[in-house]
Structure 1
Amino acid sequence: MAKLPDDVPFPFHGRVVWLTPEQGGRTTGPPRADSDDDYAANAFVPPRTADSGLASFVLRDLERGALVSPAKGRWLVVENSGAHRIQPGTVVVITEGPKPVGYFHVEEVG
């Protein structure tokens, strides 16, 4: 994905933990890019699942290639409410299609 405009808020701040290929994560490992593009994928908030709560999610300011990295996140289309409500302490499951590839641990919501 290209980078969203700089004035688009990324209200969720925390840490992303990527699954290794051996754990069922991305076959190529954590996202690697030579640019500062945002990383867009699907995600859900438990107790929802990929079948019941999947929506587009974007990560920014992550350390490319690192298994664990600080990051900022945002829903791309849905509001932060109902099944997609994120608050401090929430773990957002990052998926590619329905397959979990990482976990975004939310520390702050701004």
Structure 2
Amino acid sequence: MKRDRFEEILKFLHFNNNEAGGAHADKAWKIRPILQAVEKTFRRGYRLGKVISFDEGMMPNRSKFNSMRIFMPDKPSKYGTKFYTFAGPKRCQSRAKRIFLKI
């Protein structure tokens, strides 16, 4: 796909109403409907057992346009989006992901 075509698609691709605002309260407000749909799918399709693990992960990203980017100097990927997840012991699938938002 050519760059111009990608930018044209990106310009009209919206998951939330830009007029409603919400950026002051939630940095992930533009993609919140997608995150809620993913969390709902995880809740519906996967039941946690008696033993669960709580873990944190990092999605590496050095883009200065990422408003959810954080800096963690002790990690191999120093810049990125941090998220938390619950997982059960019998599957390699996580139940829910929560994005850490530094305000």
The structure with the largest strand share of the pair is 1
TM-score normalised by structure 1 residue count: 0.27
The structure that has the greater radius of gyration is 2
Quick one: higher RCO (CA 8 Å, sep 6+), 1 or 2?
Answer: 1
The structure with the largest helix share of the pair is 2
TM-score normalised by structure 2 residue count: 0.28
